[in-house]
Structure 1
Amino acid sequence: MNFIELEIVDKVATIALNRPEVFNSFNREMALNLQKVLDDCASNPGVRAMVLTGKGKAFCAGQDLKEVTDPDLNPGFKKILEEHYNPIILKIRNIKKPVLGAINGVAAGAGANIALACDIVVAHEKVSFIQAFSLIGLVPDSAGTFFLPRLIGFQKASALAMLGDKVSAIEAEKIGMIYKCVPAESFEDTVTQLSVKLANMPTKALGMIKGLLNASMGNSLEDQLAMESKYQIEAAQSEDYAEGVAAFIEKRNPNFKGG
């Protein structure tokens, strides 16, 4: 079975986690397949935006606990983190193209934190996010302790990580955990509209914005200003900048090529 489904349409790569019978929980094969698909999309010039979603009722329930409790299958937490989840998070953040998290169902544990690592996250109103780790005696991984306090503040992140409360998509939008909660019936249309918009924007500039936001997590003000200057000078030399200015002057819609 192909645990990751990939479809590329109109410069948008839709990447779907595909173990619906176990709520798209990760085993080793699925984690390694996702890494390969992310790499392929990163290097494919025909892809200018990515959508990460799940098949079936869930986005991702995190780690498949049957794998870690089976003595014949258990790769051990060191391997799971260093070879599965950590590379996935780093690839999502380092890909120089926008990654839209389209959260179609429950996102729990590592699944919740993979969702939060995406550049823009939309979820339908019936979705919930759960930092489920403490409920089984574990700690958040997959950069949960990195992104969550930066998104929603230290106190709220501490409570969610320790208590393992469910957060509805409606509440997640209110507290800044995600970009937008949308009605279930318009979810697919919203995802399509956003992904197509991203795919037709100046891809190089979007990649630079992503790099700047990544760096801002640890940079001083002076370092961030210097990096902005460097990137702005480079962006101003791009074909998309020339097209954007020409379109503005000519009062027409720009036709960005991503270069």
Structure 2
Amino acid sequence: MRRTPKVGDDKMGDVKMGAVISRHDGAIAWVKLNRPERLNAMNRQLVDGLSEALARAEADPSVRAVILHGEGRAFCSGDDLKDLDEQTTSEATTRGWVDAIQNITLQIMQSRKIVIAAVHGWCVGGALEWAVNCDFTLFADNARWFFPEVTYGLFVTGGVTALLTKQTGPQVAKELMILGEKHDASKALEVGIAWKLFPEAQLLDEARKLALAIAERPESAVADIKHAINNGFHSSLADAMALETRATVSGFLSPDAQARAKNF
């Protein structure tokens, strides 16, 4: 079973927040998605726990970097389709679910901390969109990923219709989102979703090294440059997310999309 590296374990204490475990070790907040029996699939407990863990890290002045990772065999396998009926009982319920997912994007991208994703196993759908939102995304060299939403008749979130299009160009963005094909880690590096690839056994150690290197830089300068880059490069994030929210709510409430997702 994968776990946070042993370095500094004596200083760390687990704080369980729903389906997320948070540990603060000096300048690093380790935030672990913890539904390994479901490949860390996203349900309300996981999303709310992640939001709480990110808020806790943001409020801790000693934390300079957040490392987001997954327990077990995957980073996160996307929406838990077993919860689809619960998520679509009404338009208000569905909008609340989508807003909760989108709020994670805002917490990551508006944070004054640097957020690092350490991705292993499967990284799918909404979780892949969160990885795109992170400041640095490290992939295990055996990781797999894809955007399944359009295949179901649903829609993406996380502002990726703006972020990924600017990063990869419109044709590649359409390829990834419309075709929804499964890709390996080298493709993530090729299109710029992954910053670097590492053997899985080294992934968390490499994330830790990066976090500590960031922590050596002046705090205000790092936070300010993050915001300047995000605001400059991703200026249409809010508009993209508003469109995504409308389209995702509509998709979730579509009987055809629900049937496709359940069949999958």
Q: Shorter-chain TM-score: which interval?
A: 0.7 to 0.9
User: TM-score normalised to the size of structure 2?
Assistant: 0.77
The equivalent position to 1:105 in structure 2, one of 102, 121, 125, is 121
Give distance in 1, aligned partners of 2:188 and 2:86: 35
Aligned match of 1:181 in 185, 197, 213? 197
5+ unaligned residues in a row in structure 2: which ranges? 1-15, 236-264
2:95 maps to 1:78: yes
1:92-131 counterparts in 2 under 5 A?
Answer: 92-131=108-147
Q: How far apart in 2 are the matches of 1:120 and 1:147?
A: 14
Give the match for residue 259 of structure 2: none
Aligned pairs for 1:143-162 (under 5 A) are 143-162=159-178
Where 2:40 maps in the other structure, the secondary structure is coil
Q: Deviations over 1:71-95 (max 9, x none)?
A: 898874311111x111100000011
Shift of 1:170: 1.3
Aligned residue runs from structure 1 range 1-20, under 5 A:
2-20=18-36
Letter in 2 for 1:43: A
Conservation of the 8 A alpha-carbon contact between 2:162 and 2:234: no
Cα 1:171/1:72, change in 2 over 3 Å: closer
**Residues 46 and 171 of structure 1: CA distance in aligned 2, closer, same or farther (over 3 Å):** same
Equivalent of residue 45 in structure 1, options 47, 58, 61: 61
Shift of the alpha carbon at 1:70?
A: 4.2
1:189/1:109 Cα in 2 relative to 1: closer, same or farther (>3 Å)?
Answer: same
- Secondary structure of 1:174's counterpart equals helix
Task: Report Cα offsets for 1:63-120 as digits up to 9, x if no partner.
Answer: 11111224898874311111x1111000000111100111122110101001110000
Counterparts in 2 of 1:218 and 1:70: CA distance versus 1, 3 Å? closer
| Equivalent position SS for 1:102 | strand
Structure 1 contact 68–76 (Cα < 8 Å) conserved:
no
Asked whether 1:66 is paired with 2:82, we answer: yes
Equivalent pairs counted in the alignment come to: 219
Distance 1:72 1:85 in 2: 15
2:75 alignment partner, SS class: strand
How far off its partner does 1:218 sit?
A: 5.5
1:139 aligns to what SS in structure 2? coil
Q: Bigger radius of gyration, 1 or 2?
A: 1
Contact kept, 8 Å, 1:10 with 1:196, in 2: the verdict is no
Q: CA RMSD of the aligned region, Å?
A: 2.1
187-196 vs 120-129, which moves further: 187-196
Shift of 1:135: 2.1
Tell me, what secondary structure is at the counterpart of 2:155?
Answer: coil
Report the CA distance shift for 1:170/1:89 in structure 2 as closer, same or farther (over 3 A).
same
Q: CA deviation at 1:142?
A: 2.3
Task: Give the Cα–Cα distance (whole angstroms) in 1 for the partners of residues 33 and 89 of structure 2.
Answer: 20
Q: Does the CA-based 8 Å contact 1:93-1:214 persist in structure 2?
A: yes
State the secondary structure of the residue aligned to 1:45.
Answer: coil
C-alpha displacement at 1:24, in angstroms?
Answer: 0.8
Indicate conservation of the 8 Å contact 2:19/2:35, yes or no. yes
The code of the aligned residue for 1:188 comes to: L
Percent identity, aligned pairs only, is 28
- 1:134, CA displacement in angstroms? 1.7
Q: Which residue of 2 aligns with 1:31?
A: 47
1:135 to 129, 140, 151: 151
Which fold has the larger relative contact order, with Cα–Cα distance below 8 Å and residues 6 or more apart in sequence?
2
